[in-house]
Amino acid sequence: MTTPQSWPQIPPIRTGIKGRCPRCGEGSIFDGFLKLKPKCDHCGLDYSFADPADGPAFFVICFGCIPAVAFAIWLEIAFTAPYWVHLVTTLPLILVTCIPMLRPLKGWLVSSQYFYKAEEGKLATPVSQSSESQV
């Protein structure tokens, strides 16, 4: 096994889409469908740094749900389709375009946070004039 200092830099797209550990590329980051494991089974990387929040859902809504709902609206306006047609066409379209995309997007966002060393933003406080004059 390699030492912790010798882990290769793996691009987030390669590890994230597959749901693999961003450091070693071997262990899985998921414990279930979308729940993150506490740490990597292979290299021991602690995943407490990872907080993709609503990022995966946002991307799925933008690139999956909006086109599917646009299709449903077009279907309704063009053909005045009954409810059962929407149930047979639109519902499966929404499910197929949204659910499978959540896991790879969440993995990619977690891997990107590790790769780019993203962390919570901090505000820099400016030095006040009175403290500068006293120095």
pLDDT for res 135? 54
Say if residue 97's pLDDT is above 80: yes
110, 11 in Cβ contact below 8 A? no
Say if residue 3's pLDDT is above 70: no
pLDDT for res 127? 74
Say if residue 131's pLDDT is above 70: no
Confidence of residue 123 (pLDDT cuts 50, 70, 90): confident
Q: Which residue has the higher pLDDT, 19 or 1?
A: 19
C-alpha 135/C-alpha 17 separation (Å) is 53
